[in-house]
Amino acid sequence: MGTEVGSISAGSIERPTTCDQLPVSKRVGARVTAVRPCPFADRGRMPDMTEPRVPGTDPGETDRLTLPCGESVDPHELDLGVREFDCDCGESHAVVMDVHPPTRFVPEFLVETLRQTTETADEFDAFGTPHLLAITMEEFPEQIVSHDASEDGSVGYALLWVAAFDARRLHEIIVELLIELMEHAVSHGDDEVLTEFERQMLQFDVETFVDQYRQQREFEDEHDQPV
């Protein structure tokens, strides 16, 4: 997307905001026409963007996913309610599955806005969690690994991502990247919309939003409800 994640940080925001003030307006008329396809759109094979970051395993260990920290995990051990787990490396790793709704990270109204204003170039009907993780992997290629379980009937998901960082940090990153995506879309609209977006951004703090959103959400299982 051309802009480093670090360019949008808590330190550059003047005042915090509340969850229901996440900056985006349904007046945004610009459309994002070039969202990269989800890396698993061709589910007949593992995606090229994943293979270099999942070191080769021995033939007898093909059902284990090698993590960015060097440890490995059996994807079958990660049930649908897992959002992160404590690794033997001493860190907590965020877990995302395709069955997790994008409202895990942002409010429902924003998800609907993104679906109305974003065109995807893959087999998925609308912008969703796989696209959020594809964008994130593009920015952090060495810190997220993915697994295609679409042909594994023993798990309840088709796509799995595990990050080097914990679930809260992943949440912050995804919000930051969505802001960049919206900023790109708004920049192609009229000046009034862009000015309003920039005004809202001055009142928005990513860390505050993530703290409040995670307090309001139920993260115990796959049935958590959107705000």
Q: At 123, phi and psi to the nearest 5? A: -80, -10
Higher local confidence (pLDDT), 45 or 172: 172
Confidence at 26, pLDDT banded by 50, 70, 90: very low
User: How much is the average pLDDT of 167-189?
Assistant: 87
Among 21-30, 55-64, 109-118, which stretch is predicted with the lowest mean pLDDT? Answer: 21-30
Which neighbouring-strand residues pair with 159? 148
Helix H or strand E encompassing 224:
none
User: Which pLDDT does position 27 carry in this prediction?
Assistant: 30
Q: Look up residue 59 and give its two tokens.
A: 């033939």
pTM of the entire predicted model: 0.69
**CA-to-CA distance for 202 and 14, rounded, in angstroms?**
6
**CA-to-CA distance for 196 and 191, rounded, in angstroms?**
9
Which neighbouring-strand residues pair with 199? none
SS3 84: strand
The predicted-structure confidence for 66-97, as pLDDT tens digits, reads as follows 999 999 999 999 999 899 999 999 999 999 99
Mean pLDDT of the chain: 73
**CA-to-CA distance for 163 and 160, rounded, in angstroms?**
10
User: How much is the average pLDDT of 36-41?
Assistant: 43
User: How much is the average pLDDT of 115-130?
Assistant: 81
